[in-house]
Amino acid sequence: MTSRPAISPLVVFDLDGTLVDTAPDLVATLNVILAREGLPPVDYEAARNMVGGGARVMLERGLAASGKNLPTPAVDALTRDFVEHYAAHIADTSRPFPGVEAALDALAERGCRFAVCTNKLEWLSVRLLDALNLSKRFGAICGSDTFGVSKPDPEILRRTIARASAGNGGAVMVGDSFMDIATARAASIPVIAVDFGYTDTPVAALAPDRVISRFADLPEAVRALVGAPRAEFQTNG
């Protein structure tokens, strides 16, 4: 009797706005940096949708919203200040979205493995997930600095999958924005979008393969896109 290798689908998650509600600490950091420049704070709801492109992109968006145009060296310096402050307050109020851990447990029981593919710096991503006792669940945690590319470049997703994969079974991306959907499409990977993340455009309008409104629905969405999580043994005559 021989067996086929166990199918172990890889579920690759975006981090900010998908796994973890990080906007409170990110927006607070943005407004600290803006205040140092004598600029007014950005409204929370507006700043929430500035999350997703990494620290520098969020800072640039915040400066633009405040009508401030700074030369590149000044933005470089403020980005370093942003990262330093954020690192010290990375999990003050950031928490996993409701149902994350239960969904990961359910998927793991079905043979799935997990990775993170984010535009957050890798060390910040690891620090956040460590603080939330989640990092050990992921076979790879890859950020914008891990491979020198960022979403929506599909190479970051392909390399994350390669780093995390130890078997076969395919992969699926889970994200919250155009950035994630575009990345998955370019990498020819099916994509599930959560509709509670950080985006100006409703994710349903971006045509992901599935949209979910709660993590309780994630296991079924994954099953529908990558098939049965485990192969059964076969007997060869």
**Residues in Cβ contact with 235 at an 8 Å cutoff, skipping those fewer than 6 apart:** 1, 2
Question: pLDDT, tens digit, for every residue of 89-105?
Answer: 999 999 999 999 999 99
pTM for this structure?
Answer: 0.89
Looking at residue 26, its amino acid is L
Q: In what order do the strands lie in the sheet with 10-13?
A: 140-142, 113-117, 10-13, 171-175, 191-194, 210-212
Question: pLDDT, tens digit, for every residue of 146-188?
Answer: 999 999 999 999 999 999 985 556 999 999 999 999 999 999 9
Mean pLDDT of 114-123: 96
Question: pLDDT, tens digit, for every residue of 207-222?
Answer: 999 999 999 999 999 9
Quote the CA–CA distance of 135 and 28 in Å, as a whole number: 24
Quote the CA–CA distance of 228 and 6 in Å, as a whole number: 10
**Which residues are known to be catalytic?**
14
Hey, what domains does the chain have and what are their CATH numbers? 10-21+95-226 (3.40.50.1000), 23-88 (1.10.150.240)
Work out the pLDDT band at 66, boundaries 50, 70, 90.
Answer: confident
- 3-class SS string, 173-233: EEECCHHHHHHHHHCCCCEEEECCCCCCCCHHHHCCCEEECCHHHHHHHHHHHHCCCCCCC
Whether the per-residue pLDDT at 134 is higher than 50: the answer is yes
